[in-house]
Amino acid sequence: MPTLVLSPRYTDDSKTLRAAAGRAGWKTERLGGWRAPAHLRGEDVVLYGEPTFVEVIAARLGLALIDAPQDWLLHLPERHRRRAVNESTLAETRRLFSAPAFVKPADGRKAFEGKVYDSAADLPGALPADTEVFVAEPVTWEIEFRCFVLEGEVVTMSPYLRDGELALTGDGRWDASDEDVRAARDYAAELLADPLVRVPPAVVIDVGRVRDRGWAVVEANAAWGAGLYGCPPETVLPVLARSCSPRPPDAEWTVTPVQLTE
């Protein structure tokens, strides 16, 4: 059985996944640091945690990680984006800034907050000028759903934002109307069936409804670092397992291993 290896950071999601892995008969281990214990080498290891941690441990253990390419969203047909999205650098974005724009780090890290910036002066100034960013036309997302995708099929999904606020009720439920759930599921199926859209064998895709425009893709995320929201952890585990492999998966989806200095 696989061993679920978690980062030192105790998050609700990591604790939930650890409990689910135990119920499924998996071994579990939470590392105390960024070293990979020797006994994990050559084992069937599944990683989950913060992206930098997962990438470092994967490199130490010789594991291949699956994710969508950084520019995956940019190459989707326009009907699946419903807004203009471009890749640039902080310096270029600052130089050409002329109207409010949604700006976020292109590498998926949290180097600064992804949000609508009203002026060039509001953009983060402490980062390198060549920091790669995505610049998108501001739109209003009425509702957003997280979809864990395995081999081209949505295995579980959950609402996570409604009108920009967490779709979480006072009693801890991630809530959406039956109509929105059906619409999100139908749209995700349409996206994955589109012959012009290629997706990794294991990935998280966020979809949502843009006001006055319709359903679209918000972004793609690596399964091994994605939050669960209301997705049952038991259904997430197979996606995590497929996203982390001791043997190289399809080359086009393999994350470039980090270069270790020690």
CA distance 9 to 167: 25
Three-class SS state of 40 = helix
Asked if residue 90 and residue 55 are part of one domain, the reply reads: no
What pLDDT, on the 0 to 100 scale, is given for residue 107?
Answer: 82
Question: Within a domain: residue 27?
Answer: yes
Question: Within a domain: residue 194?
Answer: yes
Nearest C-alpha neighbor of 210 from the set 133, 158, 113, 136: 136
How would you label 181-192 residue by residue, b for 16+ Cβ within 10 Å and e otherwise? bebbeebbeebb
Q: Look at the chain and report how many structural domains it folds into.
A: 3
Residue 261 pLDDT > 80? no
Asked if residue 145 and residue 122 are part of one domain, the reply reads: no
What pLDDT, on the 0 to 100 scale, is given for residue 167?
Answer: 96
Question: Within a domain: residue 217?
Answer: yes
- Of the chain, the percentage scoring pLDDT greater than 90 comes to 83
Domain boundary among 221, 239, 256: 221
What pLDDT, on the 0 to 100 scale, is given for residue 28?
Answer: 97
Asked if residue 213 and residue 174 are part of one domain, the reply reads: yes
CATH number for the domain harbouring residue 153:
3.30.470
Question: Within a domain: residue 261?
Answer: no
Asked if residue 204 and residue 160 are part of one domain, the reply reads: yes
Question: Within a domain: residue 131?
Answer: yes
Asked if residue 176 and residue 155 are part of one domain, the reply reads: yes
- Of the chain, the percentage scoring pLDDT greater than 70 comes to 98
Which residue range(s) make up the domain with 52? 3-65
Structure-token pair, residue 129: 């000028």
- Residue 32 to residues 10, 37, 122, 129: CA-CA distances in angstroms? 11, 10, 38, 35
- pTM attached to this predicted model: 0.94
CA distance 143 to 228: 16
Domain boundary among 136, 152, 180: 136
Asked if residue 8 and residue 42 are part of one domain, the reply reads: yes
Asked if residue 194 and residue 123 are part of one domain, the reply reads: no
CA distance 142 to 163: 5
Question: Within a domain: residue 26?
Answer: yes
pLDDT tens for 80-104 read: 999 999 999 999 999 988 899 999 9
Burial class (CB in 10 A: 0-12, 13-18, 19+), 171: exposed
What DSSP line would sit under 43-82, residue for residue?
Answer: S-EEEES-HHHHHHHHHHHT-EEB---TTTGGGS-GGGT-
Asked if residue 145 and residue 197 are part of one domain, the reply reads: yes
Asked if residue 131 and residue 145 are part of one domain, the reply reads: no
CA distance 160 to 175: 8
Asked if residue 200 and residue 155 are part of one domain, the reply reads: yes
Asked if residue 165 and residue 125 are part of one domain, the reply reads: no
Question: Within a domain: residue 233?
Answer: no
Question: Within a domain: residue 182?
Answer: yes
**Residues in the chain, overall count:** 262
CB 218 within 8 A of CB 130: no
What pLDDT, on the 0 to 100 scale, is given for residue 124?
Answer: 87
